[in-house]
Amino acid sequence: MTRLMQSNLKWPFVAFIVLETLIFGSGNAITKMAYDSITPLWCLAIRFGLASAVFVLFFGRRMARSLRGVKVRAWLPAAVCMALSYLCCNVALDFTTATNVGFLVALPVVFAPILSCLVNRTRYPLAFLPFQVIVVVGLLLLCGNGGSLVFGIGELLALVSSVALAGALVFGKKGLAQLDAITVAGTQIVMSFVMCLGCALAFEPPVDLLAVSPSAWWTIGFLALLSTCLTFFLQNISLEKLPSTTVSLLLTGEPVFTALFSFFLLGETLSIMGLLGAALIVVAVVAATYVEGREDAKSAPAAAPASVSA
């Protein structure tokens, strides 16, 4: 991993984000299934509690050393945004389809470039604008799923989740200038646990652990270990090599996987227009990744000629 981080290769980190979207897509579908025996906020609290325990067990000392002497603003904004994103996303699943949630949560592709310009005081990446427009059109077709766009409380929460996730990407990228990927991921996981537990205690009745079905426990275990510990690490380590704009664009692949898993697990179907939207997203993401690779190759300095020893 150290050699990979020191190299100029970017495709492995693109692959990491694609793997993340695959895990997230399956997680959206099976999370909705778990709500048959456990409420959304308690599902989140237990999920992030387990993930926090795993992270602290393996990386607690490393995180403590890394955070020592670093100002709170280096990690707190990203951690709060990530926690808010998960809160809104998982509550939204209780009000609307997993397919719609997956589509709307993919909108950081729109918000991340704007937030990045404001936070980092940089120019808007105009080269990505055509791809962002195509993705938005694709998301609209997917969310409309046949022309009848539905927008209720679930969709509103998913949209708030999307804005918060964009904030987590932008502030997380900034925090990585002072902290390593494991520490940034760990602070996001622990903060998510604190906020989710507080909301569960405040807004939901006490959880009856004995009433939680075995399948729900398996779901929580999957969400904690793969859809939290692994994906948070993959996202933050990729942010060390990729711009937050690129990561947000790659994350738009999540609704495609969400729709796929929702079809097989929940029976949610897509119309022809929905499938067209999915195809547009995939094409835009692949094209944008290719264009970014060519731009990086052009801007990279030419390698110095090797010296010849006598």
Pairs from 201-204 (Cβ < 8 Å, separation ≥ 24): 203/41, 204/39, 204/41, 204/42
Please give the pLDDT value at position 305. Answer: 35
Of the candidate ranges 141-150, 230-239, 283-292, 300-309, the one whose mean pLDDT is the lowest: 300-309
**Contact indicator for 231, 54 with CB cutoff of 8 Å:** no
Please give the pLDDT value at position 133. Answer: 84
Please give the pLDDT value at position 306. Answer: 34
**Contact indicator for 236, 184 with CB cutoff of 8 Å:** yes
Please give the pLDDT value at position 149. Answer: 53
Share of the chain above pLDDT 90, in %: 34
Quote the CA–CA distance of 239 and 101 in Å, as a whole number.
Answer: 24
Please give the pLDDT value at position 302. Answer: 43
pLDDT tens-digit series, residues 89-130: 888 878 877 667 767 777 777 788 888 888 888 887 777 788
Please give the pLDDT value at position 108. Answer: 78
Quote the CA–CA distance of 4 and 8 in Å, as a whole number.
Answer: 8
Question: Which of residues 310 and 264 earns the better pLDDT score?
Answer: 264
End-to-end CA, the chain = 35
- Contacts of 211 by beta carbon, 8 Å cutoff, 6+ apart: 37
* Most confident range, picked from 8-22, 134-148, 168-182: 168-182
Cα-to-chain-centroid distance, residue 301: 32
Quote the CA–CA distance of 306 and 310 in Å, as a whole number.
Answer: 13
Q: What is the mean pLDDT of residues 271-296?
A: 72
CA nearest to 240, candidates 199, 186, 184, 296 = 184
CA nearest to 24, candidates 227, 216, 232 = 227
What three-state secondary structure class fits 237? Answer: helix
Question: Which of residues 80 and 122 earns the better pLDDT score?
Answer: 80
Q: What is the mean pLDDT of residues 123-139?
A: 79
Question: Which of residues 290 and 236 earns the better pLDDT score?
Answer: 236
Give the model's confidence band at 308: pLDDT under 50 very low, under 70 low, under 90 confident, else very high.
Answer: very low
pTM for this prediction = 0.78
Give the model's confidence band at 84: pLDDT under 50 very low, under 70 low, under 90 confident, else very high.
Answer: very high
Q: What is the mean pLDDT of residues 29-38?
A: 81
**Is pLDDT at 49 greater than 70 in this prediction?**
yes
**H helix count then E strand count, the chain:** 14, 0
Please give the pLDDT value at position 307. Answer: 33
Task: Report the mean per-residue pLDDT for the chain.
Answer: 82
Please give the pLDDT value at position 298. Answer: 58
Task: List % helix, strand, coil for the chain (3-state, nearest 5).
Answer: 80, 0, 20
8 secondary structure, DSSP code? -
**Is pLDDT at 197 greater than 90 in this prediction?**
yes
**Contact indicator for 258, 101 with CB cutoff of 8 Å:** yes
Cα-to-chain-centroid distance, residue 119: 19
Look up tokens 């990561």; give the residue: 247
What number of other Cβ atoms are within 10 A of residue 239's Cβ? 25
pLDDT tens-digit series, residues 243-277: 877 887 788 777 778 777 777 777 777 677 777 87
Per the rule left: phi > 0, alpha: psi between -120 and 50, beta: everything else, 214 is: alpha
**Is pLDDT at 18 greater than 50 in this prediction?**
yes
Give the model's confidence band at 5: pLDDT under 50 very low, under 70 low, under 90 confident, else very high.
Answer: low
Of the candidate ranges 152-156, 197-201, 275-279, 302-306, the one whose mean pLDDT is the lowest: 302-306
- Contacts of 272 by beta carbon, 8 Å cutoff, 6+ apart: none
